[in-house]
Amino acid sequence: MTLQGKRILLIISGGIAAYKSLDLIRRLRERGASVRPVMTAGAQAFVTPLAVGALAADKVFTELFSREDEQDVGHIRLARDCDLVVIAPATADLMAKMANGLADDLASTILLATDKPVLVAPAMNPKMWSHPATRRNHATLLADGIRFIGPASGEMAESGEKGEGRMAEPLEIAAAVEALLDTGPKPLTGRKAIVTSGPTHEPIDPVRYIANRSSGKQGHAIAGELAWLGADVTLVSGPVTIPDPKGVTVVRVERAEEMRDAVLAALPADIAVMVAAVADWRVASASGNKIKKKPGEAPPPLLLTENPDILKTVGHHPKRPKLVVGFAAETQDVAENGRSKLERKGADYIIANDVSPHTGIMGGDRNTVKVIGKSGDEDWPDMDKQAVAERLARLIASHFP
């Protein structure tokens, strides 16, 4: 009875996956939780409140402006009198409302009013999941601290289309609920972590710079996950356009030298995760004024000089954190290059990935990594960067029993 005494508010929105919510209710209750269901109008087109109420052994809430319900419990109390809000299935529409703070029915009003953690199990057509609007909403919700489980890849029940969008299985959702409601001490409480993320910009002159394709998505997700596990996180970020992760201290820098200074200033720490795509070189003497074209003259040569290697500095520092993790962006010989970086930079792990253009990893939402440790390699399957972050944060936490 891992969820004994826990109160879960389960919001069911419209989609064929709503039938799986019936099983989810059963799974949550057999673990000892009580489940109070809320159904959107769409959900009621797929499963009946009668079936949901019978399995939950509770009243089903459906109306925002029901006098009876408001007198009975009220939407604000519904939103607060629980330990966790779970949305399964969550439609693209409900995610969009949440991301924008809309509150035009009972479910969305609860989501705006709640002060409890929220776990979302999306279910939608793969094209809807990959649509830029849903991508934006997903990123916003992640930045707001909303937790996600799934969606999984597979065949859609209605259309037979393949791709990401299937709701996670009830057992996986129940496991995610258990992990979220784990009231034991967080494994990284009292630990300090430094994470670097994003690209660096190395000026050529006041208007031009050398940069790379890093988005910061992976590093930011890792910083957020370490904070979620209780660590006190300093995120040293190069120029990115994504939101700050929740619960971390962000130090913004532009150049590699600034990044190194910020990282060293944040020592001592227990954990360092160097994810940034630091430019290896900078312009030897960046011009203080804009370099002008001069008729008849050859283009100016760019003389480069090496930047400090931040990971290597930290990996061999007198105040070296107990656990040092680096990344290795490679386009060939991923394993060999990764392993030699492990040695050279004094890291405990190198997370190596193939960033060849065809992989879409650099700047994209997904990542396929090889985890190179002192005692061997492990290939992780293709997953989104958030999932890589969760798994890596758990691996890191396992070093701090």
Positions in the binding site for ligand CTP (CB under 6 A):
196, 256, 274-278, 280, 307, 309-311, 326-329, 341, 345
Q: How far is the CB of 263 from ligand CTP (least distance, A)?
A: 8
- Give least dist CB 350 to ligand CTP, A: 7
Closer residue to ligand CTP in complex, CB, 134/307:
307
Which C-beta is closer to ligand CTP: that of 161 or that of 336? 336
Residues 6+ apart with CB under 8 A from 82: 7, 8, 9, 36, 114, 116
CB of 335 to ligand CTP, least distance (A): 13
Amino acid identity, position 66: S
Among the options 212, 307, 353, 367, which is catalytic? 212
Neighbours of 117 (CB within 10 A): 16
d(CA 229, CA 181): 12
φ/ψ (deg, to 5) at 140: -60, -45
Sheet containing 34-39: order of strands? 34-39, 7-12, 84-90, 118-122, 147-148
List of E strands, 142-298: 147-148, 152-155, 162-166, 192-197, 202-203, 209-210, 232-237, 249-252, 271-274, 281-283
For ligand CTP, the closer of residues 228 and 327 by Cβ is: 327
Residue 302 beta carbon to ligand CTP: minimum distance, rounded to whole angstroms? 18
Question: Comparing C-alpha atoms, which of 376, 378, 199 is closest to residue 275?
Answer: 199
Which lies closer to ligand CTP via its Cβ, residue 83 or residue 309? 309
Distance between CA atoms of 205 and 246, rounded to whole angstroms? 34
Contact (Cβ atoms closer than 8 angstroms) between residue 335 and residue 377: yes
Contacts of residue 151, defined as CB under 8 A and 6 or more positions apart, other chains included, come to: 121, 122, 123, 124, 129, 164, 165, 166, 167, 168
Is 24 or 259 the residue whose CB approaches ligand CTP more closely?
259
Q: How many CB atoms lie within 10 A of CB 307?
A: 18
The nearest distance, CB 162 to ligand CTP, in angstroms, is 33
- Is residue 289 part of the annotated active site? The answer reads no
Give the torsion through C-alpha atoms of 1, 20, 162, 355, to 10 deg.
-30
**Least distance in angstroms from the C-beta of 347 to ligand CTP:** 8
Least Å distance, CB 127 to ligand CTP, is 34
For ligand CTP, the closer of residues 231 and 328 by Cβ is 328
What sections of 84-169 are H helices per DSSP? 92-100, 106-113, 126-130, 132-143
For ligand CTP, the closer of residues 107 and 256 by Cβ is: 256
What is the distance, to the nearest Å, from the Cα of residue 303 to the centroid of all Cα atoms in its chain?
39
Q: Which of the residues are catalytic?
A: 212
